[in-house]
Chains A and B, each alone.
Chain A
Amino acid sequence: MRRSTFAWFVAPSVVMMLVFIAFPLMSVLVQSFSLTQPVVESLTVETCTPSFVGQNCIQETRRQPVLDENGAIVTETRFVGLANYATLVEPGRALAALGNLNLNELLSIDFWRALRFTLTFTLITLPLILVVGLGLALAVNNVTRAVRGPVIFVTLLPFIITPVIGALAIRWLFVSDGILTRLMEHWSGQDIFMFARSWTIELLMMFYRVWHVAPFAFVIFYAGLQGVNQDAVEAALIDGASRLQRLRYIVIPHLMPLIVFVALIHLMDAYRVFEEVIGFRSEAYVISLQYLTYDLLMPDNTGNRAINRASASSMLTMIGIVILLIPLLRHTWRQHRGTR
């Protein structure tokens, strides 16, 4: 293809990416380093009231927003460096808490609380999803051809359901008068409140995420299994490899690029966990980084949005994702170099 033809073909998508991804990203980056506040002026007002011996004058200094000719509040934007980040992370308090080994103190800062949950959530669901997805794929690959279609359909259902609806469904199963809670109460003989403690809520959130995403991993792995070299599997069978050894030496190495792919996608997704916080209404106990950003963006009682802090928070989320992806990307890069 000629260079100019190629340019014409990719131009629309490059423009889209610039307009909808690159520029907003730059804007968020810039905003995270600046602070936008109303311009406030100090006004000294002397109020005099007539009295018996002349007049009583009270001088009063008031701070009030400057208004423009239309009556709108005038704002100014300043470069504040890392101030927004500092407000979020509170490095002084965090370091002090770490120094005292006082985890509760550290987790009383919203950012660290959110980071703690986000990391736990991501790192615990990742292996579970890979294992459950691979398990499902191997199971379906081994059932007779006749029932394979229906089994695949049922397996995919959780993946098809809208995330918020799925989260709500799980919540309703486990709320205080939900069926499953009642069942567990019946078995254990004691009252159970799944939504009264942070760890039970987290457990449900992770369960929901695995239930929701494992089918995606399953589909990818199942497709990959169709490409396993059957001769190599049979050779291993004759060489004496057990089922587990065939999985380890032939199937898993064959699926490795797909495993890395699913892990990449899942890390990016799980680190931005959000639906679960909304669906399970867990914000009183557990919040995620994405929820923190959302919360900062919502107008507070006085109608102000902390857009600059929200920008800082989303930049930090992105940095977190990149750090998590580095090992996987390095693996992929080495494979790429190796096959050349």
Chain B
Amino acid sequence: MAGIELRDVSKRWGKFTGVDRFDLTIRDREFLVLLGPSGCGKTTTMRMIAGLEEATEGDIIIGGRRVNDLDPKDRDIAMVFQSYALYPNMSVYENIRFPLKIRKVPAAEHEARVRRAATMVELTEFLDRRPSELSGGQRQRVALARAIVRQPAVFLMDEPLSNLDAKLRVSTRAQIKNLSHELKVTTIYVTHDQIEAMTLADRVVVMKRGLIQQVGTPTEIYDRPANTFVASFIGNPAMNLMNGTITDGVFQADNVRIPGLDAIDGPVTLGFRAEDAAVAPVGQIAAPVYTMELLGDATMITVRAGGALVAVKAAKDFRVAIDDRVDIAVPPGICHLFDSTTGERLYA
């Protein structure tokens, strides 16, 4: 059991900066998700914690111990890889047992510990198989079992669900959530999938180009994105963002007029979430329909307004033809305002 402290950790390759002064304290037993598009430095951050990459600067402290100069094996961590990284020549049993065998855990304990780990991930009936005889989901569960069998202080998971198909991803995600609840081990989880981040995390770190954009609980990040990047990265669909100007508390843009905003005059980026707005007889946005998508539980209406495509969720039986005009109600209370040049949130 251990907390992790990252003090101004950076990774540079020549002139290129992969991770820029990453500073964060991860509490003991916390489930932290590093979220961002590819190349944002999330995997590099994790690999530095694992010891697979050396930090160019800064201190990495696990359980109160500076580990920068320790080998990966001495950091008391376990890692799950996107590609499963199983040992193809060993059976499932041998794969799970490998960390115990290598670390000279007394042989008498192996059987029981391997079985316990296999039971947790529901693999007991596959112990004699080779990895090549398993499905993707089963393989990733072997990797999970191999990680938990040693009871490390920290779990690192590098996009463990990315190679699975959509259905398996959902069930394995639930399994990981359940495991983490049961094991109560500090976990760092890297993903580019915001749904995984939202569903699994105690806290989410959103990253972009090596820099932390925002750290917060999933709710905080969803409800109060720190900038337009986070706003557009989190949520499905992403937050609607429109560029316009405020004059006397009224936001105006192409096809848009939202009065009642408490803000100083000037250009801003205004955002709101599709599910917060609604189709109404009279609304702040009036524009022709660009497209209509049936989602089953709702109908997504997209219009062109404020120089962007703006989506809004309507009732599941709502129907409209393309190019028909609709009115969308966007009350000022659901609006987020961002600086139109820096993208930073205004009026925190």
Listed in ascending order, the chain B residues whose CB lies under 8 Å from chain A are 50-52, 71-73, 77-79, 81-90, 98-99, 102-103, 132, 143, 146, 150
Contacts and interface: CB of A to CB of B under 8 A. Distances in A.
Interface stretch (A91-99, A162-170, A229-237, A299-307): A229-237
7 tightest CB-CB pairs across the interface, nearest first? A231-B85, A253-B89, A240-B73, A235-B85, A239-B99, A240-B102, A231-B81
B73 A232 contact: no
Most chain B Cβ neighbours within 10 Å, of A240, A245, A250, A339: A240
A237 B82 CA distance: 16
Contacts of B99: 239-240
A232 B98 contact: no
A253 B88 contact: yes
18 contacts: A229-B88, A231-B83, A232-B86, A235-B81, A235-B85, A235-B146, A236-B98, A237-B52, A237-B71, A238-B50, A239-B98, A239-B103, A240-B102, A241-B102, A249-B89, A253-B88, A253-B89, A254-B88
A232 B86 CA distance: 6
Contacts of B82: 231
Given A229-B83, A232-B85, A249-B87, A238 B77 contact: yes
Given A240-B73, A249-B87, A250-B87, A235 B79 contact: yes
Contacts of B143: 235
Contacts of A235: 79, 81, 85-87, 143, 146
Contacts of A236: 87, 98, 102
Classify the interface of chain B: helix, strand, loop or mixed. loop
Contacts of A240: 73, 99, 102-103
A128 B79 CA distance: 38
Nearest to A245: B102
B245 to A, nearest CB: 51
A339 B89 CA distance: 11
Nearest to A246: B102
Nearest to B132: A339
Contacts of A232: 85-88
Given A237-B73, A256-B89, 20 more contacts: A229-B88, A231-B81, A232-B87, A232-B88, A234-B81, A235-B85, A235-B86, A235-B87, A236-B98, A237-B72, A238-B50, A238-B51, A238-B72, A238-B78, A239-B102, A240-B73, A240-B102, A241-B98, A241-B102, A249-B98
Interface string A308-340: 000000000000000000000000000000010
A165 B71 CA distance: 49
Given A234-B52, A245-B102, A249-B98, A239 B73 contact: yes
A231 B132 CA distance: 16
Contacts of B72: 234, 237-238
Contacts of B50: 238
Contacts of A231: 81-85
A249 B146 CA distance: 15
Interface string A206-230: 0000000000000000000000010
Contacts of A241: 73, 98, 102
